[in-house]
Amino acid sequence: MSPLVPHLILYLLLLTVVTGEILRPRFYSETCPEAESIVRNEMKKAMIREARSVASVMRLQFHDCFVNGCDASVLLDDTPNMLGEKLALSNINSLRSFEVVDDIKEALEKACPATVSCADIVIMASRDAVALTGGPDWEVKLGRKDSFTASQKDSDDIMPSPRANATFLIDLFKRFDLSVKDMVALSGSHSIGQARCFSIMFRLYNQSGSGKPDPALEPAYRQKLDKLCPLSVDQNVTGPLDATPVVFDNQYFKDLVSGRGFLNSDQTLYTSRETREYVKMFSEDQAEFFRAFAEGMVKLGDLQSGRGGEIRLENFEVRSDPSAVELGFLRIEMDWQGQKLVEQLMQILLVIAGVVAVVVGYATESFRTMMLIYAGGVVLTTLITVPNWPFYNLHPLKWLDPSEAEKHPKPEVVVASKKKFSKK
């Protein structure tokens, strides 16, 4: 055996560590084989305690992944130096069931300490929410790291308001490489769960400043909503998002076809020409909806932040490596496609450097040459991928028009609960 072979093996191991983990199914099959069944079991228990809770957990995936990737940043409480996402416009008094994630984390920490990230928990639990309520089941890719930081501002800027229309939603989802079909299918998540009167008051009483209700509302349904949400109502009162709010099915789309969508952002998918055909299709073909939904959830779960990461632990002490945070901020400046390009370039360049180093090292039978070439490759990769070069910003994100956020008044905090596991 060539004396280079052990070095080659060492080198390949090193390469795996340097290039970082890529999301893949059964990521914990060696380190925590029970992970997926523990999560499902805890979700079952949560559903028995409160049927709605699984829908609330599933919503976390959307609110986590759209804001700087699926990194569990949505679970972080505010700190003196950081305004977290929990109190962002779309989340305050609205995102809930964080305690279910805490319970899952606790069960996983008992079985396999410091192994499974909260970001992966959100992804597994969201899949389970759908499967447990009668929807499709799919294989999830895992291996995410938890973020060190969260951004209320990014959440405010990105997350859509219930007033959004189809054109706005199409554009928003497109920025995340999600197609019109993905967007309509993912909106089908509103097949389970509830929403507050707060989210539809304008629709019932002053649609687009007209002083009138949304004409797209079917009259009998509007009367029902008027009763649920009279002008004097406590706006935290909730109503079901479709006619079967604890069953994941295509009833949501049937409701849209008959003018019985709860949110403006739901109904607009049928009133708008660009999305109507998909609503019709899903209302008639549940299997097609299930397929498209599962595909959309996997794509949503693929959104990554490029921030430095960790596996958040029970006491959630900050174990941050400041340079990693800095690196994270560098990346956050980049547009979304820039971040993707950086990740791909880094992996490609390191692999090329590795292959060239091994081939030349082998040919010259020189370990030193191999290491020198590889080190050169690492330096070159760093120079290309770490600074925020202009070519990483060719697709600047067009954030929400501030007027859209203004239309989305910030309610007062009702409960500011301290979460056992969700703070750092």
Give catalytic residues, as residue numbers. Answer: 63
The verdict on 56 binding ligand HEM (CB under 6 A) reads yes
What is the torsion angle, in degrees rounded to the nearest 10, for the CA atoms of residue 365, residue 366, residue 370 and residue 371? 150
Can residue 194 be called a binding residue for ligand HEM (CB under 6 A)? yes
Query: Under the criterion CB under 6 A, does residue 69 sit at the interface with ligand HEM?
Result: no
Give me the phi and psi of 318, to 5 degrees please: -70, 115
In angstroms, what is the minimal distance from the CB of 196 to ligand HEM?
A: 4
Q: Output the six-digit token pair for 380.
A: 């070159």
Find the shortest distance in angstroms from Cβ 234 to ligand HEM: 13
Closest distance to ligand HEM from the beta carbon of 313 (Å): 27
Q: Tell me whether residue 408 or residue 424 sits nearer to ligand HEM (CB atom).
A: 408
Number of neighbouring beta carbons within 10 Å of residue 357: 22
Among 189, 207, 275, 304, binds ligand HEM (CB under 6 A): 189
If one asks whether residue 61 binds ligand HEM (CB under 6 A), the answer comes out as: yes
Cα 271 to Cα 160, 174, 182, 260, distances in angstroms: 18, 20, 18, 12
d(CA 198, CA 263): 10
Looking at beta carbons only, is 245 or 377 nearer to ligand HEM? Answer: 245
Is 55 a residue that touches ligand HEM (CB under 6 A)? yes
Q: Based on the shown chain and the rule CB under 6 A, indicate whether residue 350 belongs to the binding site for ligand HEM.
A: no
Give the C-alpha separation, 247 to 131, whole Å: 10
Burial 287-318 (b: 16+ CB within 10 A, else e): eebbebbbbbbbbbbbbbbbbbbbbbbeebee
152 forms part of the interface with ligand HEM (CB under 6 A): no
Instruction: Return the half-sphere exposure (C-beta side, CA atoms, 13 A cut-off) of residue 348.
Output: 8
Q: How far is the CB of 75 from ligand HEM (least distance, A)?
A: 15
Options 196, 254, 312, 340; binder of ligand HEM; rule CB under 6 A: 196
CB atoms within 10 A of CB 120: 28
- Biggest CA–CA distance in the chain, Å, is 83
Three-class SS of residue 389? coil
Q: Which residue has the tokens 């228990």?
A: 45
Dihedrals phi, psi of 31, to nearest 5 degrees: -85, -25
**What does the block give as tokens for 145?**
């790291």
Contact flag: residue 155 with ligand HEM (CB under 6 A): no
Binding ligand HEM (rule: CB under 6 A), the pick from 69, 193, 328, 354 is 193
The CB-of-142 to ligand HEM minimum distance in angstroms stands at: 18
For ligand HEM (CB under 6 A), the number of binding residues is 27
Binding mask 356-375 for ligand HEM (x = CB under 6 A): --------------------
Instruction: Indicate the residue among 263 and 370 with the shorter CB distance to ligand HEM.
Output: 263
**CB proximity list for 73: less than 8 A, separation 6 or greater:** 64, 67, 84, 85, 147, 149, 150, 151, 305
Name the residue number minimizing CB distance to ligand HEM.
193
Q: Which residues are annotated as a binding site for heme b?
A: 190
Q: Which residues are annotated as a binding site?
A: 64, 67, 69, 71, 73, 85, 160, 190, 242, 244, 249
Q: Which residues are annotated as a binding site for substrate?
A: 160
Binding site for ligand HEM (CB under 6 A): 52, 55-56, 58-59, 61-62, 94, 96, 160, 162, 164, 169, 186-187, 189-190, 192-196, 198-199, 241, 263, 265
